[in-house]
Structure 1
Amino acid sequence: MAVGIFFLFLTSLGMLGNSVLLCGFIIADFSGIRVKKPTDLIVKHLTSANFIVLFRGVQQTLAAFSQNYYLDSVSCKLTLYFHRVSRGVSLGSTCLLSVFQAITISPSNSKWAQIKIRASRIIGPSLGLCWASQLLLYGFIPVYTTDLWGGRNVTGIKNLEYCVFMNPGRLISTLTVILYTCNDFMFLGMMMWASGYMVFILLNHKQMVKHIHRSLSPRSSPENRATQSILALVSSFVIFYVVSIVFTSHLSVLDITTRWLPNTGVAMTACFPAFCPFLLLRHYTSIFRLHCTCSYKTTIFTHVF
């Protein structure tokens, strides 16, 4: 019951936040109240990937509340496969967002100045490459995934409550864990580098305009607020995904697992997609402010007419 309530709360919270963020972008695009930014496409892909990651929380909730809940073979393959793919795309999209922001705010005399001009044009191909690479990387999962009935006569299985993952052997499991871990840490490393570079630029800019800030109100400077936002996003991202990588790798190499281990791994994977939209909404409040302003003006005009 406690596991079911936890997954229900986490999944509902994450889907609500991602729905609000995605609906804000859709309304802004169709109404034309806001100029599109290159990062909008990255955030849309990130939100879509988060939705798919959180969908597995629905399966975990149903499995926790009902002991007789299980999926058929095709549903098991699709659920686990797209959960891992969307998790990888969420990692890649967040990494791409950080790298693009780091290139955008880099000084004009830096070595990134030439890339800054072409950065917005390679966002679409980069996102397509991210999806394609993750679809190929995790193509191994559907081969060894089946339903509970199909895995009854198979030795060395990992019971995921509503699905079964067949053990391919210690050598293949170790190789896949190494491959998947390298993929995850590559994205994490690039994101930490980009975020550290942005913090370095913002702190240098703060030192350059220190005399201006002294003459202003005692509120915190824009550089401090931006630095705090970056550090909050990066620290939460790294903590949740590092713990998720540890549990996922541990689950992949163990022959016998307890019920709490896969539940904890899924919960850690879902934590960042659940809280990510609320961190991003702070930077996209202008969408809702403009939409509310336009709605208010339209209502006043209608009453006057």
Structure 2
Amino acid sequence: MDLCVTIKGVSFLLQTGMGILGNVVVILAYAHILFSDRRLQPVDIILCHLAFVNLLLLLTRCVPLTMTVFGLKDLLNDPGCKVVIYAYRVSRSLSVCITCMLSVFQAVTLSPAAGPRWSSLKARLPSLLLPTFVGLWCLNMAVCIAAPMFTTAPRNGTVPAFTLNLGYCHVDFRDSLSYVINGASLTVRDFAFVGLMLWSSSYILLVLHRHSRKVRNIRRAQGGGMESRAAKMVITLVVLYVVFFGIDNVIWIYMLTVAKVSPDVADMKIFFSSSYAFLSPYFIISSNKKVKSRITCTASDQEQQSVDTQESNDKV
């Protein structure tokens, strides 16, 4: 194994391992909050769902790629490739949709009430979460249904033109028209959600800037500081996503302009497109006091239990 392959393998291994660990910790922390407090705040529900989707993304994209880089051959057959690629496409689409949903939800929550209809919408937001989740899942599962049609297990011999060689699977579009249409449709969909995400985040910044004194009064009277911290966390998540989204799409646009894509270019795209799923849970842990307190509390309990066990052994 040469140096470049080793560096690539170690990079994917670290990204995959740390990303899975971080998202699992976030999900378990929210499960602990739900078990102890019997309820989750709407923002917490969205963040927990985002961690689950990012975990699914890492499992279906980075795990098989990491195994392939380290030399595991014939990892998946045709049906396995179709399932894995379809699950990845759905989870990637949901990642941008739920990040957008988080930004829009926070923008509506922070916006000043302007009439009874707007106040009624803000009051109904928590009850709209479940229908929105169901709608996003159904929408993205329907949009991504074509992905398995072009997916096959790797074949011996030359890789055909207009084929994305992922190592563990091939996505063969057969002709330039289907190749460009598929790439353009995904890009347009992603840009639409990212545009809405940026608009809502800009609105959040505008509200926080223009009404800083009012927000301070709300913080003293009703705990508005928590909403302000949540808004800043959402904005940072959006910025994080947009950075990796931009790099991912620059590579994707390049891939659309060539008939045969180098496996190294495809691997680079996968690395950057998965970086948000890898980094976002650690930002949630560091910026969300409830999640951090649950992790700290669990660690303290385990340390105390270890001390008690040691003392019992010493007495024996």
**TM-score when scaled to structure 2?**
0.81
Matched residue, 1:216: none
Q: 1:252 to 1:132 in 2, by over 3 A?
A: farther
**1:95-244 to 2 correspondence within 5 Å?**
95-109=100-114, 112-149=118-155, 155-156=160-161, 157-207=163-213, 229-244=233-248
Superposed CA deviations along residues 64-99 of structure 1, whole A, max 9, x for unmatched, are 111635321111111111111100001111110111
Distance 2:187 2:246 in 1: 10
Matched residue, 2:264: 260
Q: Which amino acid letter does the alignment assign opposite residue 257 of structure 1?
A: V
**1:293-304 to 2 correspondence within 5 Å?**
none
SS at 1:244's partner residue? Answer: helix
SS at 2:21's partner residue? Answer: helix
Distance 1:256 1:152 in 2: 14
Percent identity over paired residues: 28
Query: Aligned residues, how many?
Result: 289
Contact 2:8/2:69 (<8 A) preserved: yes
Superposed CA deviations along residues 210-235 of structure 1, whole A, max 9, x for unmatched, are 89x9xxxxxxx989966754443222
SS at 2:146's partner residue? Answer: coil
Superposed CA deviations along residues 223-249 of structure 1, whole A, max 9, x for unmatched, are 996675444322211010122233234
Q: Once structures 1 and 2 are overlaid, which stretch shifts more, 157-166 or 98-107? A: 157-166
2:88 matches 1:83: yes
Contact 1:81/1:139 (<8 A) preserved: yes
Distance 1:35 1:203 in 2: 31
Structure 2 residues not aligned, in runs of 5+: 1-5, 220-224, 309-316
Distance 2:69 2:141 in 1: 29
**TM-score when scaled to structure 1?**
0.84
Contact 2:50/2:99 (<8 A) preserved: yes
2:14 matches 1:24: no
Superposed CA deviations along residues 242-270 of structure 1, whole A, max 9, x for unmatched, are 22233234335531111211101111111
Q: CA RMSD in A?
A: 3.0
Matched residue, 2:313: none
Matched residue, 1:245: 249
Matched residue, 2:62: 57
Contact 1:52/1:86 (<8 A) preserved: yes
Structure 1 residues not aligned, in runs of 5+: 214-220
Q: 1:223 to 1:49 in 2, by over 3 A?
A: closer
Cα drift, residue 283 of structure 1: 4.1
